[in-house]
Amino acid sequence: MDARIGTYESALFPNHGYHPTSKTRIHVPDASLREDCTLQLHFVLPPHIFADRYELQNYAPRLQFTYRGSANLELPVFALNSLEESELLVSVSLNEEEKRKGEVEVDVPLHLRYGGVLPADASTTHEEIFIRHPEAFMACPESKYAQRGAVADPQSLIADLTNSTIVPLQAANAREGEIVRLPVGQAAHSPIVELGTSSVILLTFIYLVFKSCKTFSRIEQS
């Protein structure tokens, strides 16, 4: 890949917890690419990580996306029917300043599923999940950029960009991804969690009964 076409660098902030954001800085010095083509970010996500399609809809029209993966946002990772990777293809609409300068910053929110419960004798409270950085490229008119294109994986979402030529940008990251630390529970904590949950449910029920009785009494007196 030719760095003169464009480069990009990605990072996760924060790299722990359940709600990291993928931040990507892209530099596209070629003005014709900025005018003729559409910037795309392609994510391949492990089962522990997903994109909330309902949240991403709030980023329109800046971001348009296609997502292939589990639609159930609440399932923990051990309850998924399949542990296959998911895909997210994000199309970025550049504003006038970005088209003029060729400097673009894109934030994509991601989420982690709850992990499994560790054995009681586990010595850690976190699970380490490796996530690859997105692949950045320009989707260009096939008629004009056919000689500069790359071949897309026919099984990926990129292959759905029909009548487009894929012009890859060069990754500036030293590593192809990074580790996210996912908090997980331990079996030894289960009795405490169950007791706490039951207590909260019971107290909530008592409170609702109390408020209902007060409301009923007030209505009777009026």
What is the per-residue pLDDT for 91?
Answer: 97
Q: Is the pLDDT of residue 4 over 90?
A: no
pLDDT-based confidence at residue 22 (cuts at 50, 70, 90):
very high
116 falls within a domain? yes
Check whether residue 118 and residue 179 sit in a common domain.
yes
- Is the domain of 111 the same as that of 59? yes
Res 1 pLDDT > 80:
no
pLDDT level of residue 216 (50, 70, 90 thresholds): confident
Residues 52 and 141 in one domain: yes
The structural domain count of the chain equals: 2
For residues 74 and 118, state if they share a domain. yes
Average pLDDT over every residue of 83-91 = 93
Q: What distances in angstroms separate CA 65 from CA 25, 60, 182, 205, 219, one per listed residue? A: 18, 9, 26, 43, 53
What pLDDT is recorded for position 185? 72
Q: What local confidence, expressed as pLDDT, does residue 33 receive?
A: 92
The answer, yes or no, to whether residue 188 has pLDDT greater than 80, is no
**Residues 68, 55 share a domain:** yes
Is residue 1 situated within a structural domain? no
Q: Residue 205's domain spans which residues? A: 189-221
Q: Are residues 125 and 162 in the same domain?
A: yes
Average pLDDT score, the chain: 89
In a domain, 2, yes or no: no
Same-domain pairing of 27 and 46: yes
Same domain, 137 and 167: yes
Between 21-30, 104-113, 141-150, the lowest mean confidence (pLDDT) is in: 141-150
78-103 mean pLDDT: 92
Q: Label residue 83 by pLDDT band (50, 70, 90).
A: confident
Whether residue 213 is found in the same domain as residue 130: no
* pLDDT (mean) for 61-87: 87
Mean pLDDT, residues 86-91 taken together: 96
pLDDT tens figures, 36-65? 999 999 999 999 999 999 999 999 999 999
Q: What is the DSSP string of the chain?
A: --TTT-EEEEEEESSBSS--EEEEEEE---HHHHHH-EEEEEEEE-TTEE--HHHHGGGTTTEEEEEES---SS--GGG-S----EEEEEEE---HHHHHH-EEEEEEE-EE---PPBPTT-S-SEEEEEEEPPEEEEEEEHHHHGGG-BPPPTTSGGGG-TTEEEEEPEE--SSSEEEEEEE--BGGGHHHHHHHHHHHHHHHHHHHHHHHHHHHHHHHH-
- 124 or 111, greater pLDDT: 111
CATH of the domain at 40: 2.60.40
The reply to whether 201 and 98 lie within a common domain is: no
Output the CA torsion 135→102→27→11 (10° steps). Answer: -70
